[in-house]
Amino acid sequence: MLSETFFIVDFPALLIVILASILCALMGSFLVLRKEAVMVDALSHSVLPGIVMGVYLSGSFSILYVMGGATLSCLIAVLGVYALQRYARIEQGAAIGTVFTTMFALGVVFLETYIGGRVHLDTQHVLYGALELTYWANPFEWDSMPMQIKTLSVMLVITLAFMIVFFKELRVSTFDPLYAELQGQYVTALHLIQILLTALIAVSCFEATGSILVISLFVCPAASARMLCDRMETQMWLSAIIGIFCAITGYFCAGFLPLALGFEHSINAAAMIAVICGIFLVLSMLFSPAYGVITQKKKLFN
Amino acid sequence: MNIFMPLIVKDLSCRYAGQHDDVLSNVSFVANSGEIIGVLGPNGAGKSTLIKGVLDLIPHEGEVKFFGGALKDHKTKIAYIPQRSSIDWQFPVSALDVCLMGMYPRIGLLKRITKANREEAMSYLEQVKLADYARKQIGSLSGGQQQRVFMARALAQDADLLFLDEPMAGIDQTTQDLLFTLFKDLKAKGKTILIVHHHLQSAKEHFDRILLINKILISDGPPNETLSQENLAAVYGGITA
């Protein structure tokens, strides 16, 4: 297994999903606690107009333009949701529904108008990502390191720094925003930074692993961790560990399970990881020591 | 101690967006240090609105002064315990975590929580008789215990002016007695406490002053004056508890 191809093909792909899973699980924990997890789903649709504009402006699939465009439309979407909630007094679910369908439709319109058939924008690429296409020509050499690994590592450093430095403030403003506001704990500023980071993480992960996996990594590890612990510190590192576990298990299941079962081809890794994430959530829902459905039934009868 | 009046409210009116009528109009009062003030009135009278308006949590008109200045200059001296329904009880924090939150501004931005901080927080939990429950997740505590956790947070904050919204709603007698005793201790230290309350009898016993409101300020004074039969009939329509 640890052949040269492993380091050229599998190792960079694994590294990417592991980095993505830590990022998404950490940020996802806050979204789940704030009951805003559906936001990521909205973001995954809202990036389209930005991607199209990025492609149009750069004339090709230039990574910088596309990422910039996607981040910008994420921010517009998030601010749009908050504006609708605040000024049109629409509840959050409806506001998110309105914004992301509009943004997605706008993306389709842009796609038809500006690009036509000139540039090929692959929908599959958006959904499943291009994990299988990554390779590291000379492993451990900086120059040929896939761009996604660099981007995600930088994002991870920034995110970890933000969360460690402001952990107290994030805890109080997530738990009791009114009180935090009263105490002058920079609630609005922190929330805005969180939104910006969420958008950046979502976009950089969408690019690397596709939107399905990102949504699942944002929600499932964080929600599983919620079933397994009662402290916010534990919630954070536990969700990251669950994310890493699902990423590795899913990746190897996708690569080797079909072959072991006698099929000819391996299956899509991003999709498989998302499935593992879902299974993990269901298992923790059923068997969590404190809150599991089955565990609690058992306690009742003993 | 502050030489200024802890709270001066002048012509406070609150109205929710899109509505034509004020929920609360032209309420004026002052709060002295070392005073326990009850805010009473029927459902929908604007009791919670009054507190939220004063604390700038909802749009309002009128002038509010804290210790002779603006809210933003005295934020850390003001504690607010919201109604129970506004808290997510499933949230992964322990009683100690919540109590520590009261000390965050003192601990300071970028600083980590130390062992000394934790020990100090434990002393506040002891004051509300919850030391044995410090590590429990807040949702696993009883209603009365939960209310005491938030009281411990207010103690940790060392606030000079406390706002409590229906702290006695649906909690056990032990906790009620404990809270009333704590209020008296705080009063002795010169703190000011404003409590939204609904029980007339205990209000008479425990409060120094009562603001009786029903969209406007009906009466402001000592309990036996404000809670006269005449006033109560006007506010509650003759039905008294």
Q: How far apart are CA B191 and CA A211, in angstroms?
A: 54
Give the gap in angstroms from C-alpha A181 to the nearest C-alpha of chain B: 9
Cα end-to-end span (Å), chain B: 38
Give contacts of B157 with chain A, Cβ < 8 Å.
183
Question: Which is more confident, A15 or A51?
Answer: A15
Question: Which is more confident, B241 or B168?
Answer: B168
Q: What is the pLDDT of residue B241?
A: 46
Closest C-alpha to A195, from A222, A168, A170, A164 = A170
Give which of A36, A89, A179, A224 to mutate to test B binding, by max B Cβ within 10 Å.
Answer: A179
Give the gap in angstroms from C-alpha B52 to the nearest C-alpha of chain A: 10
Give the gap in angstroms from C-alpha A86 to the nearest C-alpha of chain B: 11
Q: Using beta carbons and an 8 Å cutoff, which residues of A are at the interface with B?
A: 33, 35, 89, 165-166, 168-169, 171-172, 174-176, 178-179, 181-185, 226, 229-232, 234-235
pLDDT, one tens digit per residue, over A176-225 is 988 888 888 788 889 889 988 998 898 888 888 888 899 999 999 999 99
Q: What is the ipTM of this complex?
A: 0.85
CB atoms A185 and B105 under 8 Å: yes
Give the list of residues 6+ apart from residue A90 with CB closer than 8 angstroms, or none. Answer: A84, A98
Cβ contacts from A onto B, under 8 A: 68
Query: Which of B:75-134 have CB within 8 Å of A?
Result: 75-76, 78, 80, 82, 86-88, 91-94, 97-98, 101, 104-105, 107, 109-110, 112-113
CB atoms A178 and B93 under 8 Å: no
Mean pLDDT across A172-179:
90
Q: How far apart are CA A300 and CA A281, in angstroms?
A: 23
Alpha-carbon radius of gyration of chain A: 20
pLDDT band of residue B181 (cuts 50, 70, 90) is very high
Give the list of residues 6+ apart from residue A169 with CB closer than 8 angstroms, or none. Answer: A180, A185, A186, A190, B104, B109
Q: What is the pLDDT of residue B238?
A: 52
Q: How far apart are CA B32 and CA B7, in angstroms?
A: 7
Say which of B78, B92, B112 has its CB closest to residue A230: B92
Q: What is the pLDDT of residue B240?
A: 47
pLDDT, one tens digit per residue, over B23-51 is 899 999 999 999 999 999 988 889 999 99
Q: Which residue of A has its CA nearest to B77?
A: A183
Q: Residue B120 belongs to what H/E stretch?
A: helix B115-127
The dihedral built from the CA positions of residue A10, A16, A20 and A22, taken in this order, carries a sign that is positive
Q: How far apart are CA B91 and CA A274, in angstroms?
A: 26
Tell me what percent of the residues of chain A surpass a pLDDT of 90.
44
Q: How far apart are CA A54 and CA A172, in angstroms?
A: 38
Say which of B92, B104, B113 has its CB closest to residue A232: B92
CB atoms B92 and A169 under 8 Å: no
Residue B108: exposed, middle, or buried by beta-carbon count in 10 A (0-12, 13-18, 19+)? exposed
Give contacts of A89 with chain B, Cβ < 8 Å.
17-18
Q: What is the pLDDT of residue A42?
A: 87
Alpha-carbon radius of gyration of chain B: 18
Closest C-alpha to B161, from B194, B135, B195, B203 = B194
Give the gap in angstroms from C-alpha A168 to the nearest C-alpha of chain B: 7
pLDDT, one tens digit per residue, over A211-261 is 889 999 999 999 999 999 999 999 999 999 999 999 999 999 998 888 888
CB atoms A178 and B97 under 8 Å: no
pLDDT, one tens digit per residue, over B89-104 is 999 999 999 999 999 9
Q: What is the pLDDT of residue A244?
A: 97
- Which token pair is A300? 């009742």
Give which of B91, B114, B133, B151 to mutate to test A binding, by max A Cβ within 10 Å.
Answer: B91
CB atoms B87 and A176 under 8 Å: yes
Q: What is the pLDDT of residue A44?
A: 84
Give which of A168, A186, A234 to mutate to test B binding, by max B Cβ within 10 Å.
Answer: A168
CB atoms A185 and B104 under 8 Å: yes
Question: Which is more confident, A124 or B228?
Answer: B228
Give the gap in angstroms from C-alpha A184 to the nearest C-alpha of chain B: 7
The amino acid at A101: T
Give which of B55, B78, B97, B136 to mutate to test A binding, by max A Cβ within 10 Å.
Answer: B97
Question: Which is more confident, A55 or A225?
Answer: A225
> Rounded to the nearest 10 degrees, what angle do helices A63-87 and A92-110 cross at?
140
Q: Look at the block and give the residue holding tokens 């950089």.
A: A204
Mean pLDDT across A8-26:
94
Q: Which residue of A has its CA nearest to B55?
A: A182
Say which of A171, A184, A235 has its CB closest to residue B105: A184
CATH number of A4-301: 3.30.70.250, 3.30.420.10, 1.10.3470.10, 1.20.140.10? Answer: 1.10.3470.10
pLDDT, one tens digit per residue, over B124-159 is 999 999 999 999 999 999 999 999 999 999 999 999
Q: Which residue of A has its CA nearest to B110?
A: A165
Q: Where are the domains of chain A?
A: 4-301
Q: How far apart are CA A184 and CA A178, in angstroms?
A: 10
Q: How far apart are CA A22 and CA A204, in angstroms?
A: 13
- Which token pair is A119? 């540039």
pLDDT, one tens digit per residue, over B62-76 is 999 999 999 988 888
pLDDT band of residue B239 (cuts 50, 70, 90) is low
Closest C-alpha to B203, from B186, B221, B191 = B221
Task: Dump strand ranges (E) for B127-241.
Answer: 161-165, 192-196, 209-214, 216-221
Q: How far apart are CA A302 and CA A88, in angstroms?
A: 52
Of A108-112, A289-293, B115-119, B232-236, which has the strongest mean pLDDT?
B115-119
CB atoms B137 and A89 under 8 Å: no
Q: What is the pLDDT of residue B154?
A: 92
Report the relative pairing of strands B60-66 and B7-14 from DSSP bridges. Answer: antiparallel
Mean pLDDT across A92-99:
91
Of A98-112, A166-180, A236-250, which has the strongest mean pLDDT?
A236-250
The dihedral built from the CA positions of residue A237, A238, A243 and A246, taken in this order, carries a sign that is positive
Q: Determine the Cα angle at A183 with ends A169 and A233, to 5°.
A: 20
Q: Would you say B127 and B99 are in contact if contact means Cβ atoms under 8 Å apart?
A: no
